[in-house]
Structure 1
Amino acid sequence: MPLLEIEGLKKSYMSPEGNRHTIIDVPWFTLQEKSQVALRGESGSGKTTLLNLIAGILKPDEGRVVIDAQEMSALNEPGRDRLRAMNIGYIFQTFNLLQGYTCLENVLLGMSFGPGVDRGFAETLLKRVGLGDRMKHRPRQLSTGQQQRVAVARALANKPKLVLADEPTGNLDHNNAREALGLIREACKENGAALLLVSHDREVLGQFRTVFDLSRINKALDEAATNESEEGS
């Protein structure tokens, strides 16, 4: 059984003009345990929406999201929160660190929503990402690359089976981006987590053996492209 299974997943939004706009329409998608897969998609293609649906941050209009044999999409909000905390690590493009807390406290707070706080493991993770001497620093005292490292440690804090990464190198320069990507992939492998990363960066995508084009799995994009073509003809 796949670690992640998506079936008939749909999500739409109401436009300011009052029209319903479908942004996600994924008939089928699966991800195996410990695999590392990238999704290619341009800005506005629904990449973040798809990840948020998988993580249970958003609830779909239709369809199923099953993670480790548990149907995320069938749960109420507290249930989705619990399933996400126990099974998913999320690396956000903007990191989403709590500015008033230290690196260590950011990781420990992430643990508080999962199986429980393990200070020793939190310190081990921060050392693993090269921040052993920055544990008491707050995010504003760190470089952008170092903040990304804290985000990686926090995503792995609850030993998730699945790590979602939303344009994780988008705010980094070329050298830091390459280093961060290598760190994310290595850390997921060491901790036995599958990785689903979305990006539009060709260099990032080129590091993955398995890359899916979001337009190939998301029928909403195909329909939008068809409509634009018809309007332009």
Structure 2
Amino acid sequence: MSLLAVRDLTKAYGPHRVVDVAAFGLEAGAQVALRGESGSGKTTFLHLLAGILAPDAGRIELAGRDLASLGEAGRDRLRAETIGYIFQTFNLLQGHTVLENVELGMAFGRGVDRAHATALLRRVGLGDKLAHFPRQLSTGQQQRVAVARALANRPKLVLADEPTGNLDARNSREALALIREVCREEGAALLLVSHDEGVLSQFEGVTDFTQLNRVERPAAS
């Protein structure tokens, strides 16, 4: 069953076209990685899929709805109800506890469910850190909070932008395994972008974004 279908998607900043994707799709429950170097447009592509950015043209059909045709409020609502996002820099709120960070993610979706938030944090190994603040956690533990927050609203799709980029090799392997396992348990599809071949090698399905994206990049000097 198709969860995500992209057609003729474009985004430019001034005269510079950043994204130009003719077609891309993702099945429900699938786990796919996009290979892309810095500056290839992959983060912009994810932001378009998440409804954080509006495209200049094209269609993004997510769970049967055309995201690209919605206004800002409609995109925000669909994103909150359907998409979980794991940022490279985690984007945790430093003035809030671990539990509050996950609950705040819920507030924009179906509503706060403290029992579910607590269960997710226990699932990612942070059951004893609920009242801690992000600054009191290791980098790997902060990543686990970000994973729990992304899954808090039971999304159909999780987007992960270089989610292991700030982790060492051991924590990177553990975080990736956790992300994939929790997505499977929750029934969420996963689209992950990375330039790390160690991360990409863990996926059966890997798409090279520089081939998917029709934007011509300047030749190396």
| TM-score, reference length from structure 1 | 0.93
User: For the residues of structure 2 that align with 1:216 and 1:186, how far apart are their CA atoms?
Assistant: 29
Per-residue deviation at 1:110? Answer: 0.5
Are positions 1:5 and 2:2 aligned together? no
- The total of aligned residue pairs comes to 221
Are positions 1:38 and 2:33 aligned together? yes
Q: Which runs of no fewer than 5 residues in structure 2 stay unpaired?
A: none
Per-residue deviation at 1:224? Answer: 2.3
> Which digits, 9 at most, give the CA deviation of each residue in 1:119-153, with x for residues without a partner?
10000000000000000000000000000000000
Among candidates 38, 47, 51, match of residue 52 of structure 1: 47
User: For the residues of structure 2 that align with 1:31 and 1:85, how far apart are their CA atoms?
Assistant: 19
> Which digits, 9 at most, give the CA deviation of each residue in 1:148-169, with x for residues without a partner?
0000000000000000000000
Among candidates 140, 143, 151, match of residue 146 of structure 2: 151
Report the secondary structure of 1:81's partner residue: helix
Give the share of equivalent positions with the same residue, in percent.
65
Report the secondary structure of 1:3's partner residue: strand
Per-residue deviation at 1:216? Answer: 1.6
User: For the residues of structure 2 that align with 1:141 and 1:52, how far apart are their CA atoms?
Assistant: 29
Among candidates 95, 98, 104, match of residue 103 of structure 1: 98
User: For the residues of structure 2 that align with 1:27 and 1:71, how far apart are their CA atoms?
Assistant: 16
User: For the residues of structure 1 that align with 2:84 and 2:98, how far apart are their CA atoms?
Assistant: 17
Structure 1 residue aligned with 2:22: 27
User: For the residues of structure 1 that align with 2:217 and 2:175, how far apart are their CA atoms?
Assistant: 34
Are positions 1:224 and 2:212 aligned together? no
Report the secondary structure of 1:86's partner residue: helix
Q: Which runs of no fewer than 5 residues in structure 1 stay unpaired?
A: 15-19
Report the secondary structure of 2:2's partner residue: coil
Per-residue deviation at 1:40? Answer: 0.1
Code of the residue aligned with 1:64 in structure 2: it is R
